[in-house]
Structure 1
Amino acid sequence: MTAEAAETGRLKSEADEPGWEVDPDDDWGVAVIATVGRQLKLRREAVGMRAAEFGAAVGYGEDLVYKIEGGKRIPRQGYLVTADRVLGAGGLIAATWEDVKRVRYPKKVRELGKLEGKAVEIGVYECNSIHGLLQTPEHARCLFEAWQPPYSSDDVERMVAARMARQTVFERDPAPSVHFVLEEAPLRRQVGGTMVWRQQLERLLAVGRLNNVALQVMPTNTEAHPGLDGRIELLKFPDGTAVGRADGMYNGRPVSDPRHLRILELQYGSLRAQALPPRESLAFIEELLGET
């Protein structure tokens, strides 16, 4: 039995690890988790352990063991490491985490991260919050915790981790050209209290000073502009293709038709022209930081 299970005197159930179900519409995720579960079952049976006995050894209830082996639940890394030791797998089961971790995030998040990872140009206008690529873990956690109906704490941590994983886009070499237009109001909102707010402003300054990043602030006292209907995103790829979306157009769905993209580019260009220039925007954020 694991040390954690020994301390509590009981085996883990689904109530202890909510939010790790497999999305049935995620074909790749289903295939990966089913394969890992099958390997676990075959290994357990090969050493002659019953599910209940194995569960007690790893600190999990029998029902949860069956669900993981049946591909219905995503195993945590700790589960795989402990299972590897209990079954004497010599690192083979623990190594499956490399596959599992690629599908533990929701499909939509993975697809977005994949597109951002390929893009050579990224342009984003964000109206109601600070964009996910710019958020600190603490800021993101506060946003997820404020959602109604509330997410479980496990779901919150998974989504925070997924959001932070997308930020590797800034570590790419060669680096993509990234441009943000952010509204003033979300920058002034003290999400999570003064310290979290301060850390978030410092994060904005750090990213905004990168050579490949331009960050602009849209003042609240400006005239009407094309972004009032919601977020606008534009991604351009090395082969010359592009994809974009806007909350207020095309039902909010991604579009790649050149005619639709031209309209989004026109709107985004208008936003950039109306917002404060990058240097003035960073100075504005520095002033906010001085108020904390």
Structure 2
Amino acid sequence: MDGEEEPGWEVDPDDDWGVAVVATVGRQLRLRREASGMRAADFGRAVGYGEDMVYKVESGRRIPRPEYLDKADRVLDAGGLLAAMKEDVEKVRYPKKVRELAELEAKAVEYGVYVGLSIHGLLQTPEHARALFEVSQSAYAEAELERLVAARMARKAIFERTPAPALSFVQEEVTLRRKVGGTMVWRQQLEHLLGVAQLRNVTVQVMPTDSGAHPGLSGKIEVLKFGDGTVVGRSDGAYNGRPVSDPKQLRILELRYSTIRAQALSPKESLAFIEHLLGET
């Protein structure tokens, strides 16, 4: 029963879909338990959780852990129906904004992004991501840190999609030189970046610090294209940072991104640059 009250398993009241999922799962658990004739206290002992936690899960106030659903499935002889809920429950744990971004990325056939302040989340190693969260001035508990890192890593499923989307990243030189997490984590991050950059559907370019002014200096730019021909763009420095789909606004963002790519090092030069950074230590 250790760790029952760890943070990161609460339901976000502003996440309507998440609230609905957890409420549905809780209701199914309660109906199955009652149909079996088990009291909450007896069921709790059987799955290794306290009676209070059983009531919290069944009332939709607590997100059940994957192992909770596995044990409940066995104890209530549900034939895999309860365990099958783990996939939706896992998504609920990810912050709403992260989940919405991942859903967009999962549908895109082309994704272009310029990043000036940090290495893009899709390119980060778990250790690099954790180091960034640790210095964010937020007092994250260990479980919450793990939740945030897991959410960021889950987005990397985009690299495993078939057919593979065309992914283009432009990173400022400074983001590659900053030794986030220490020298070992930094080196592992650069090595990971080299590996990703050599995938056939991925292009990584470096924007040298001495390249002068360019359209990305006002913040991150993203352009996502979908199979039905629609496009969504976003820029920290335009349209209040909101996603846009208006053709005129999109043309401006696409032009800015194209200009950035033209000013950056070529993909081949960028790989050589990253290799040179690794060789400096």
TM-score range, shorter chain: over 0.9
17, 27, 40: which one pairs with 2:16? 27
Aligned to 2:211, the other structure's residue is in SS state coil
* Aligned residue identity for 1:245: R
Post-superposition CA distance 1:175-224 (Å, at most 9, x none): 11111110111111111122211111011111111111111111112211
* Cα distance in structure 2, aligned partners of 1:240 and 1:13: 46
Q: Give the residue type in structure 2 aligned to 1:189.
A: R
3-state SS of the aligned residue for 2:140? coil
Residues 103-136 of structure 1: CA distance to partner in whole angstroms, max 9, x if unpaired? 3322221211111111111100001100011011
1:43 aligns with 2:32: yes
- Are residues 1:170 and 2:159 paired? yes
Deviation string 1:1-32 (CA, Å, 9 cap, x unpaired) is xxxx4xxxxx5442xx2111222232222222
Aligned counterpart for 1:192 among listed residues 181, 185, 208: 181
- 1:8 alignment counterpart: none
Partner of 1:106: 95
Assess if the C-alpha contact under 8 Å between 1:217 and 1:281 holds in 2.
Answer: yes
Check if 1:65 corresponds to 2:58.
Answer: no
Question: What's the TM-score once normalised by structure 1's chain length?
Answer: 0.91
Q: One-letter code of the match for 1:246?
A: S
2:192 matches 1:203 = yes
SS of the aligned residue for 2:203 comes to strand
In 1, Cα distance between equivalents of 2:199 and 2:79: 44
Q: Is the 8 A contact 1:58 1:82 kept in 2?
A: yes
Does residue 143 of structure 2 align to residue 154 of structure 1?
yes
Equivalent residue of 1:35, what SS?
A: helix
Q: State the alpha-carbon separation in 2 of the partners of residues 53 and 148 from structure 1.
A: 43
The CA deviation at 1:273 is 1.4
One-letter code aligned to 2:23:
A
Match of 1:286 among 260, 271, 275: 275
Where do 1:222-237 residues align within 5 Å? 222-237=211-226
What CA distance in whole angstroms lies between the structure 2 residues aligned with 1:35 and 1:52?
21
| Partner residue, 1:273 | 262
1:182 maps to 2:171: yes
SS at 1:233's partner residue?
Answer: strand
How many angstroms apart in 1 are the aligned matches of 2:37 and 2:162? 49
Within 2, Cα distance between the matches of 1:111 and 1:13? 28
Count of aligned pairs: 281
Pair 1:263 & 2:252 matched? yes
Amino acid in the other structure paired with 2:188: Q
1:167 and 1:30 mapped to 2: Cα distance?
25
Asked if structure 1 preserves the Cα contact closer than 8 Å seen for 2:8 and 2:93, the reply is: no
Distance 2:262 2:79 in 1: 59
Q: Is the 8 A contact 1:226 1:267 kept in 2?
A: yes
Deviations 1:230-289 (A, max 9, x none): 111000112221001111111111000011111111111111111111111110000111
Q: Which residue identity lines up with residue 251 of structure 1 in the other structure?
A: N
Corresponding residue SS for 1:120: strand
Q: Displacement of 1:88 after TM fit? A: 3.4
Match of 1:136 in 2: 125
Q: How does 1:112-127 map to 2 (within 5 A)?
A: 112-127=101-116
State the match for 1:249 in structure 2. Answer: 238
**3-state SS of 2:270 partner:** helix
Q: How does 1:202-221 map to 2 (within 5 A)?
A: 202-221=191-210
Show structure 2 runs of 5+ residues with no match. none
Does the Cα contact within 8 Å between 1:12 and 1:61 map onto a contact in 2? no
- Report the alpha carbon displacement of residue 92 of structure 1 after superposing the two structures with TM: 2.7
Structure 1, unmatched stretches of 5+, are 6-10
Percent identical? 72
